[in-house]
Chains A and B, each alone.
Chain A
């Protein structure tokens, strides 16, 4: 069965510092995608970054990077130079190429950025 685990319910980070949000996953699919989404207090869900299971390089999108360690089944999100606007809920998600292309989500990590 597919599973996403986010072990940090809440985290604090000082403005301008980097922060890593942890995500581990489990799947039997040979090919899959890993995603991170941001949910600000306003409630909408925003796509941040994608990593394919066969990608050799870690994905980056501006201040976001995904630290992908396939052997350890981890897909941690790194936010560099945190900003106050980064305070939000962050969800790790996975989508496989089999099993109907279902997307499963972790429970989320709430990030608080301190001024």
Chain B
């Protein structure tokens, strides 16, 4: 089954404790990206990647890191989480890097930082 898989789905952590949210897709998509969803703000892009070893900042990259060492994986790293990073996070992939590519989303990861 074609899918984007994120883990963990739910996480409660404390300020400053490094964490990684994994994302993996089995559709051989070149384009992958991370979003955070907050009430009233829609989804905002954190980072994206157009291919292996090619990543770039989205609109809200502060406090996050990513890497793209393999085509299928695109982990999101919070080196020192803070309460303002409490959010619902989505990983997504797309079959095309241009403007025609719809996004395939993972199921979301709800993160709470205390």
Residues of A within 8 A of B (CB): 4, 6, 29, 31-33, 35, 37, 43-47, 50, 52-53, 91, 93, 95-97, 100-108
In the complex with contacts A97-B98, A101-B98, A105-B42, A45-B88 CB distance below 8 A: no
- Contact of A101 (CB < 8 Å), options: B40, B59, B97, B107: B97
Q: Write the residues of chain B forming the contact surface with A, with a CB cutoff of 8 angstroms.
A: 31, 33, 35, 40-45, 48, 50, 56, 58-59, 88, 90, 92, 97-105, 107-108
Task: Name the contact of B99 in the complex, choosing from A4, A52, A91, A106 (C-beta under 8 A).
Answer: A52
Identify the closest chain B residue to A91 (Cβ): B42
Known: A43-B107, A43-B108, A47-B104. A105 touches B99 (CB 8 A): no
Q: Please, how many angstroms separate the alpha-carbon atoms of A33 and B98 in the complex?
A: 9
In the bound complex, do residue A44 and residue B108 qualify as a contact, i.e. CB atoms below 8 Å apart?
Answer: yes
Instruction: Output the nearest chain B residue to A35 by Cβ-Cβ distance.
Output: B102
> Which of chain A's residues have a CB closer than 8 A to the CB of B59?
102, 104
CB-CB under 8 A for A103 and B97, given A44-B108, A45-B105: no
A50 close to B100 (CB less than 8 A): yes
Q: Which residues of B contact A52 (CB under 8 A)?
A: 99-100
A84, B36: Cα distance in complex, Å? 28
Q: Is B33 a contact partner of A103 (Cβ separation < 8 A)?
A: yes
* Residues in B whose Cβ lies below 8 Å from that of A96: 99
- Measured CB to CB, the nearest residue on chain A to B57 is A100
Q: Is the CB of A45 within 8 A of B33?
A: no
Given A95-B99, A103-B33, verify A44-B40 contact (CB < 8 Å). no
A45 touching B90, Cβ below 8 Å: yes
Is the beta-carbon distance between A107 and B42 smaller than 8 angstroms?
Answer: yes
The residue of chain B having its C-beta at the shortest distance from the C-beta of A42 within the complex is B107
